[in-house]
Structure 1
Amino acid sequence: MAKKRISDVLIEVLANAGIERIYGITGDSLNSVNDSLRRNGKIAFEHVRHVYIVIII
Structure 2
Amino acid sequence: MREALGRRAVMVTVDATGHDSYLAEGNACGDRTVSHFLTTGERPHRDTYCR
Larger radius of gyration: 1
Q: Same fold (TM over 0.5)?
A: no
TM-score (norm: length of structure 2): 0.32
Question: TM-score, normalising length from structure 1?
Answer: 0.30
Q: Which has the higher contact order (CA 8 A, sep 6+)?
A: 2
Structure richer in helix, relative to its length: 1
